[in-house]
């Protein structure tokens, strides 16, 4: 509505055919953008502000309702950093994130190369690989939980056939992080496959033809052509994978709740548990951990933007 008025008013005597002059056009643009700006302020900036507010106060459940928390500055952040659980959570985050994205990337790239040349049914089969990515997370996580169940899980039953004894995937501190990482890798393969496959399509076919004439075998073609030319796409895939994986809460929470004994607690899960996972919500330290996560993600994000700019220029 506003756009109509703001646009016609300054046009004045000008013919309606002429595109609106600079100033009017900017007003129109602002009117179309206004819902988004309001939205970003209300539903991103304000929650983020509230999160920072939580992290620099001592919010107890009572203070939450009454709105009179004590200001504590950076105490929550210092407490977090000196908490004995911190280094464990940081290590778990590193293992979970790096383990997930490297294996996802390797498998996704192998599959992308496999599907690169069309063959009978290749499009259908490739589409089937998207399934894990489209399923609700709770569905995948609960299915994996039951598959990895110690006594009745299909994974242990299959391993038994090879003479491997019962592994307590989710209930042993030695394997729970590995178990959630495996499930997360499974979830991430489709994304890696799709992005890397799209990247492969942009490599000129003539290069492969020329290499074929020169007698290069499949491995040499991959080493000399595919991998180097795919580097920008690879970098973006790995970075986005890093940013997504850092945030993961649900798959771990549903499968192990970060346990047993913090063995699969990452920073994001730690934050979630402090705030929502126990009967005693402790928002302030949770928000401090959240700030730390944002900081890491933001650094990764800056690298991402730079990489993308560079690729746009290339």
Partner 1 sequence: MRAWWKTAAGVVLVGVMLFPVYWMFNVSLTKTSDMRADPPHWFPWDPTFEGYGAALGQQLPALATSLLIGLGTVALTLAVSLPAGFALAKLRPRGGRVIDFLLLVAQMIPGVVMAMGFYAIYIRLGLLNTVAGLIVADSTLAVPFGVLLFRAFMAGIPAEIMSAAQIDGAGTWRTFRSIVLPLSRNSVITVSLFTFLWAWSDFVFASTLNRNSDVIPVTLGIFRYIGNNTTQWNSIMATAVIASLPAAFLLVLAQRYIAAGVTAGAVKD
Q: Which of residues 20-79 bind partner 1 (CB under 8 A)?
A: 20, 25-26, 28-30, 32-33, 35-37, 39-40, 43-44, 46-51, 53-54, 64-65, 67
Is residue 246 within 8 Å of residue 93, measured between CB atoms? yes
Q: Which is nearer to partner 1, 148 or 177 (CB)?
A: 148
- 14 interacts with partner 1 by CB under 8 A: no
User: Rule CB under 8 A: which of 254-283 touch partner 1?
Assistant: 254, 268, 271-272, 275-276, 283
- 314 interacts with partner 1 by CB under 8 A: no
Among the listed ranges 84-92, 97-105, 171-179, 245-253, the one in contact with partner 1 (CB under 8 A) is 245-253
Options 89, 191, 234, 238; binder of partner 1; rule CB under 8 A:
191
Token digits of residue 292: 């730390």
User: Which of 280, 274, 273, 282 minimizes the C-alpha distance to 254?
Assistant: 273
Output the DSSP codes for 95-118.
Answer: HHHHHHHHHHHHHHHHHHHHHHS-
Minimum distance from residue 102 beta carbon to partner 1 (Å)? 18
Among the listed ranges 71-79, 82-90, 166-174, 243-251, the one in contact with partner 1 (CB under 8 A) is 243-251
The residue with tokens 């539903």 is 43
Among the listed ranges 19-27, 90-98, 173-181, 216-224, the one in contact with partner 1 (CB under 8 A) is 19-27
Cβ burial 148-181 (10 Å sphere, 16+ → b, else e): bbeeebebbeeeeeeeeeebbbbbeeebbbbbbb
Among the listed ranges 15-23, 72-80, 83-91, 169-177, the one in contact with partner 1 (CB under 8 A) is 15-23
Q: CA-CA distance, 268 to 253, in Å (whole number)?
A: 10
Token digits of residue 245: 């994986």
User: Rule CB under 8 A: which of 162-181 touch partner 1?
Assistant: none
Q: CA-CA distance, 69 to 167, in Å (whole number)?
A: 47
- 313 interacts with partner 1 by CB under 8 A: no
- 227 interacts with partner 1 by CB under 8 A: no
User: Rule CB under 8 A: which of 119-148 touch partner 1?
Assistant: 119-122, 125, 127-132, 134-140, 142-147
CA angle centred on 100, ends 95 and 101, rounded to 5°: 110
């Amino acid at each position: 509505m506003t756009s109509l008025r703001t646009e016609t008013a300054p046009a004045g005597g000008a013919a309606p055919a002429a595109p609106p002059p600079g100033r009017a056009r900017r007003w129109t643009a602002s009117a179309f953008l206004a819902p988004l700006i309001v939205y970003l302020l209300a539903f991103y900036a304000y929650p983020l502000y509230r999160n920072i507010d939580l992290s620099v106060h001592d919010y107890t459940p009572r203070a939450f309702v009454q709105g009179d928390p004590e200001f504590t500055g950076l105490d929550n952040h210092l407490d977090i950093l000196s908490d004995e659980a911190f280094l464990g959570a940081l290590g778990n985050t590193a293992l979970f994130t790096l383990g997930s994205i490297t294996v996802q990337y390797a498998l996704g790239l192998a599959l992308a190369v496999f599907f690169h040349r069309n063959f009978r049914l290749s499009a259908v089969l490739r589409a089937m690989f998207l399934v894990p990515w489209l399923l609700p997370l709770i569905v995948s996580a609960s299915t994996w939980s039951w598959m990895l169940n110690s006594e009745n899980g299909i994974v242990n039953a299959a391993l038994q056939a090879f003479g491997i004894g019962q592994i307590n995937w989710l209930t042993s501190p030695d394997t729970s992080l590995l178990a959630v990482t495996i499930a997360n890798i499974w979830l991430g393969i489709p994304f890696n496959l799709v992005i890397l496959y799209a990247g492969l399509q942009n490599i000129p076919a003539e290069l492969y033809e020329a290499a074929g004439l020169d007698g290069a075998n499949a491995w040499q073609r991959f080493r000399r052509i595919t991998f180097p030319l795919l580097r920008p796409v690879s970098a973006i895939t790995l970075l986005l994978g890093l940013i997504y994986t850092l945030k993961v809460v649900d798959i771990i929470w549903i499968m192990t709740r970060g346990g047993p004994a913090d063995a699969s607690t990452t920073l994001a899960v730690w934050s979630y548990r402090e705030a929502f996972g126990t009967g005693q919500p402790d928002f302030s330290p949770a928000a401090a951990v959240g700030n730390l996560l944002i900081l890491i993600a933001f650094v990764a994000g800056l690298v991402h933007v730079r990489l993308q700019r560079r690729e746009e220029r290339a």
